[in-house]
């Protein structure tokens, strides 16, 4: 068994909440919107209004997920929250939510500060925590960023990013058919590709799109190749490659580089924009009807850091609920 191989990770449900304000890019960039959509694939976006608090979105997503999963608070063993735009620096979201939702004091709660590669990281952590435990069975991974609050007046960024929070339920149930493989890369030398810079009233995102492309194009295929090697699989053995929805240009370039066929690469960017860390679970939801139990799915997130996270999972027969709502 590879050191990056785990068993028993079953995604059983996802609940997502989009920003409460739907944006059409004509309102932001006028006549250039059609050409912009052609290049980026982005048609619709959702951002949050000023009064919305990210903690409330996390709490609502988790509550709705637990209802749909018929999961009682006492049954949640692990709560992982991943965001780079928390409402306050501390206490952590997961700690506050454990209190608000009346979770057991034995629930393992942690926040991760990771960008668009964060979903595979969180699933990896769940795998590690559940693998050798006799008591940790049910986990909730809640991820999301309110990127719109970091845009300032930058018209090169504003038409791209969307706000969303998405909660995923994961159950540990050991079967060989649910084996998971992971790979993670940190290219720290490229940390300025996307960074938060100080401005008078807080922070603003600065993104060098070309550097993001360069790092993604070089390292995403490397990470995916590493996962496939660990799993002793080839590209043809994988049913779907679910990429972080950065923009269509980049995904299409990766698709061409790796010689992936159209049907293997699902999208959601047209409907939701770049929802940062939430984009992989949203893409899973948007395309879940295409997945068959046992399908091999490679989930690959990449971005801020610069970091790349890849996880190969199997679509579970236990996946039973998926809801996307507007906040």
Q: Which of 241, 313, 323, 296 has its CA nearest to residue 10? A: 313
45 vs 96 by CB, closer to other proteins: 45
Sole binder of other proteins in the list 153, 198, 256, 259 (CB under 8 A): 256
Pick the closer one to other proteins by CB: 53 or 257: 257
CB of 240 to other proteins, least distance (A): 23
**Closer to other proteins at the Cβ: 29 or 235?**
29
Residues in 46-105 at the binding interface with other proteins, rule: CB under 8 A: none
Sheet holding 5-6, edge to edge: 5-6, 180-186, 307-314, 296-303, 240-243
Q: Show the 3-state SS of the chain.
A: CCCCEECCEEEEEEEEEECCEEEECHHHHHHHHHHHHHHHCCCEEEECCCCCCHHHHHHHHHHHHHHHHCCCHHHCCEEEEECCCCCCCCCCHHHHHHHHCCCCCCCEEEEECCCCCHHHHHHHHHHHHHHCCCCCCEEEEEEEECHHHHCCCCCCCCCCECCEEEEEEEEECCCHHHCEEEEEEECHHHHHHEEEEEECCEEEEEECHHHHHHHHHHHHHHHHHHHHHHHCCCHHHCCEEEECCCCHHHHHHHHHHCCCCHHHCCCCHHHHCECHHHHHHHHHHHCHHHCCCCCEEEEEEEECCCEEEEEEEECCCCCCEEEEEEC
Among 5, 63, 131, 214, binds other proteins (CB under 8 A): 214
Cβ closer to other proteins: 43 or 318?
Answer: 43
Q: Which of residues 134-193 bind other proteins (CB under 8 A)?
A: 156
Whose Cβ is closer to other proteins: residue 173's or residue 213's? 213
Q: Does 36 interact with other proteins (rule: CB under 8 A)?
A: yes
* Residue 39 sits in the site that holds other proteins (CB under 8 A): yes
Residue 306: asked if its preceding bond is cis (omega within 30°), the reply is: yes
* Residue 32 C-beta: closest distance to other proteins, Å: 7
**Site size for other proteins, by CB under 8 A?**
19
State in angstroms the smallest separation of the CB of 2 from other proteins: 31
Tell which positions 218-237 bind other proteins, by CB under 8 A: 218
Question: Does position 259 bind other proteins by CB under 8 A?
Answer: no
**Closer to other proteins by Cβ: residue 208 or 322:** 208
**Contact between 32 and other proteins (CB under 8 A)?**
yes
Residue from 253, 295, 321, 322 touching other proteins (CB under 8 A): that is: 253
Which position among 34, 35, 88, 293 is part of the footprint of other proteins (CB under 8 A)? Answer: 35
Which range binds other proteins by CB under 8 A, 165-173, 214-222, 230-238, 258-266?
214-222
CB half-sphere exposure, 312, CA atoms < 13 A: 28
* Smallest gap from residue 46 Cβ to other proteins (A): 20
Residue closer to other proteins by CB (options 20, 154) is 154
Name the residues that contact other proteins, by CB under 8 A. Answer: 32, 35-36, 39-40, 156, 208-211, 213-214, 217-218, 249-250, 253, 256-257
């Amino acid at each position: 068994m590879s050191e990056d191989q785990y068993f028993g990770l079953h995604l059983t449900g996802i609940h997502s909440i989009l920003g409460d304000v739907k944006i059409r890019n004509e309102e932001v960039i006028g006549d250039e919107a059609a050409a912009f959509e052609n290049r980026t694939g982005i048609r619709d976006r959702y951002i949050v209004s000023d009064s919305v608090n990210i903690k409330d979105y996390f709490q609502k997503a988790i509550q709705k997920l637990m209802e749909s999963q018929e999961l009682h608070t006492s049954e949640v063993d692990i709560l992982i929250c991943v965001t780079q735009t928390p409402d306050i620096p501390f206490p952590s979201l997961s700690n506050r939510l454990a209190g608000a939702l009346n979770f057991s004091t034995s629930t393992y709660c942690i926040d991760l500060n990771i960008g668009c590669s964060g979903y595979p990281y969180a699933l990896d952590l769940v795998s590690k925590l559940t693998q050798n435990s006799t008591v940790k069975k049910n986990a909730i991974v809640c991820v999301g960023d309110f990127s719109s609050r970091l845009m300032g007046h930058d018209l090169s960024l504003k038409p791209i990013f969307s706000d969303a929070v998405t909660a995923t339920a994961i159950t540990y149930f050991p079967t060989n058919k649910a084996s998971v493989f992971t790979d993670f890369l940190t290219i720290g030398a490229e940390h300025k590709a996307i960074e938060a810079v100080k401005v008078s009233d807080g922070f603003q995102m600065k993104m060098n799109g070309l550097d993001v492309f360069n790092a993604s194009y070089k390292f995403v295929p490397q990470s995916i190749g590493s996962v496939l090697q660990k799993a002793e699989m080839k590209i043809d053995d994988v049913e779907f490659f679910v990429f972080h929805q950065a923009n269509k240009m980049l995904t299409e370039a990766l698709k061409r580089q790796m010689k992936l066929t159209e049907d293997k690469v699902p999208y959601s960017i047209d409907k939701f924009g770049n929802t940062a860390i939430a984009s992989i679970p949203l893409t899973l939801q948007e395309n879940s009807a295409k997945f068959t139990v046992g399908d091999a799915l490679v989930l690959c997130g990449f971005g801020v850091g610069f970091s790349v996270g890849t996880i190969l999972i199997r679509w579970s027969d236990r996946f039973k609920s998926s809801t996307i709502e507007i906040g």
